[in-house]
Amino acid sequence: MTTHADSPAVRRLADWDHDRLESLAEEYDTPLYVTDLDRIKENYTRFSSAFPDAHVMYAAKAHTGKSVLEAVLEAGGDIECAAWGELQRSIDAGADPNALQYTAVNPPDRDLDYATDLAEDAPGLTITIGATDTLDRLQARGYDGRVAIRINPGIGTGHHEKVATGADAKFGIPYERVPDVADRVRDEFELVGLHAHAGSGVLTEGLEEHCRAIERVGEMARRVGDENLEFVDVGGGYGVPYREDDEPLDLEKTSELVRDAVGELDATLKLEPGRYVVADASLILSEVNTIKEAPETTVVGVDASLATLIRPAMFGSYHPMLNVSAPGREPEPVTVGGPVCTSADVFAHDRPIARPEREDVIAIGNAGSYGYELASQFHSQPRPAEVALEDGEARVVRRRETLDDVTRVERE
C-alpha cells in the first residue's frame, strides 16, 4: 500500500485523469485552477520523512489558498510567512500563531504592527530580521521577543537570477556582520535562530552550489554559539521537474548533502519547502478559442493568459502542456498564447502538442507554485476559479471572480 512518504516523487501532467479534467472544465468553466490536496499532503510528508530529525515548515508564499494551508496543517506541517497577510491567512486556516515564523523583508509598518500585536498574545511567534533597521523598528514598538537573524551567505542558487536570493543584498545581514548583530539581539531580544535562503527551484544537479551556501550558515551558527540557538533554518528552494525529461529531486541524496553541509549542530535544523510541496499538485485548464495558421507557426489561442499564470512571461518558465480533449491526436508544433495584448502573453513557442482544435481543453501543468499566487486582473480579466480535489471529491475553494469583483474597490 502506498503511503504519503513513498508516493511517486513527481506527478507528471500525463499522470492526471484526462477524462476527469475535461469534465471539470465542462462543469466549472475555464480558465480553471485544479489543485489536488491529497498530493500536497503526500509531497509534504515525503519531504519531511527525508529529514526525520528536522523541523519542516511550509513556505506559504508559494500558495496561500486556505485549502492548501489546511492540507499542510493536516499533514503535520507548520507555516513560514513572509508578510502580515500570510500570517493572518495561516491563522484563519487553523495554524497556531505560536508556531508561525514571520520572515520580514523590508517590512512595511503595517506588517510590523500586525506581527508585534500578534506576539503580545502569541509569544511563540518568531520574527526573522534581515536588517538592523528592522531591530530598531521592533524595539520602537516595544517588542523584545523571539528573533532570528537572516544571513546573506553571498551565494545564490536556483532556476533564475530573479530567485537567487542568497547573493542579493536585499536579503539578509551581510555575512561578516552577523556576530555583532547576534550580540545586539541577545542584549535586546530573545535570539532563537539563524536563517538563510540561497535560491529557488534547485534540483539534484544544483545541490552542490546550494550546499555551499548551507555550509556557510552552519559555520556561522557555530561562530555565534549554536548551543544557545533553538534552530538553524536553511530555507527552501527545493525544486520539482517542470520539463518532462527532467529527473525529480533525489531526496535521499538531498538529505545527506544538506546534513553534511550544515555540519554538527546542537540546534534543530529547519527547512522551508514551498514549491516542492505544491507545484505538481495543481494545473490550469484552458479552452482553445482560436486556431491561426501563420507563415512561421500555427498560433493556438486559449482563454488563459499571463494574468492567469505569469511565470512564463516573468521568468521564461517552461510549463508542460497537454491536449486533454484528444491526447491521442498526432502532435504538431504550435505556439500557445492568451488574449492579453502583449507578445509576452505566450505559454509555449513551437511546442509539439496533440493537434488542437477549437473548444479543446488544454492543461498547463505544474501550476501550483506561484501560479494563482501571482494571478492578476490585467485587462480587467476576473481571476479564475479554483477547484480542489480531495478524497475523490471535487469542490470549489475559490469562486470565479466577476467583473463586479474587479471594479468593486473603485466604488467603496
Q: What is the pLDDT of residue 168?
A: 53
Host H or E run for residue 258? helix 251-262
Please give the tally of structural domains in the chain. Answer: 2
Which of 252, 276, 300 corresponds to the end of one domain?
A: 276
Which residue has better confidence, 192 or 169?
Answer: 192
Q: What is the pLDDT of residue 156?
A: 45
Residues spanned by the domain of 403: 282-410
* Residues 260 and 139 reside in one and the same domain: yes
- Is residue 86 part of an annotated ligand binding site? no
Residues in the chain: 412
The yes-or-no verdict on residue 158 having pLDDT over 60 is: no
* Residues 211 and 64 reside in one and the same domain: yes
Which of 213, 246, 276 corresponds to the end of one domain?
A: 276
* Model confidence pLDDT, tens digit, residues 176-217: 999 999 999 999 999 999 999 877 788 888 788 888 889 999
The closest alpha carbon to 197, from 170, 236, 160, belongs to: 236
- Is residue 146 part of an annotated ligand binding site? no
218 contacts 263 by C-beta, under 8 angstroms:
yes
* Model confidence pLDDT, tens digit, residues 256-307: 999 999 999 999 999 999 999 999 999 999 999 999 999 899 999 999 999 9
The yes-or-no verdict on residue 337 having pLDDT over 90 is: yes
The closest alpha carbon to 345, from 379, 297, 320, belongs to: 379
* Residues 83 and 202 reside in one and the same domain: yes
* Residues 269 and 338 reside in one and the same domain: no
Catalytic residue among 109, 341, 343, 392: 341
- Is residue 239 part of an annotated ligand binding site? no
- Is residue 370 part of an annotated ligand binding site? yes
C-alpha cell at 215: 555550509
- Spatial CB neighbours of 215, under 8 Å, sequence gap ≥ 6: 261, 262, 263
- Whether residue 12 is contained in a domain is answered as no
* Active site (annotated) includes residue 341: yes
DSSP letters spanning 7-34: S-S---GGGS-HHHHHHHHHHH-SSEEE
pTM (two decimals): 0.93
Which whole-number Å values give the CA distances from 326 to 148, 283, 284, 346, 361, in the listed order?
A: 52, 17, 17, 22, 9
C-alpha cell at 217: 550558515
The 8 Å CB, 24+ separation contacts for 214-219 are: 214/153, 214/258, 214/261, 214/262, 215/261, 215/262, 215/263, 216/151, 216/153, 216/154, 216/155, 216/175, 217/151, 217/153, 217/262, 218/261, 218/262, 218/263, 218/265, 219/263
Helices and strands, counts by H and E, the chain:
12, 20
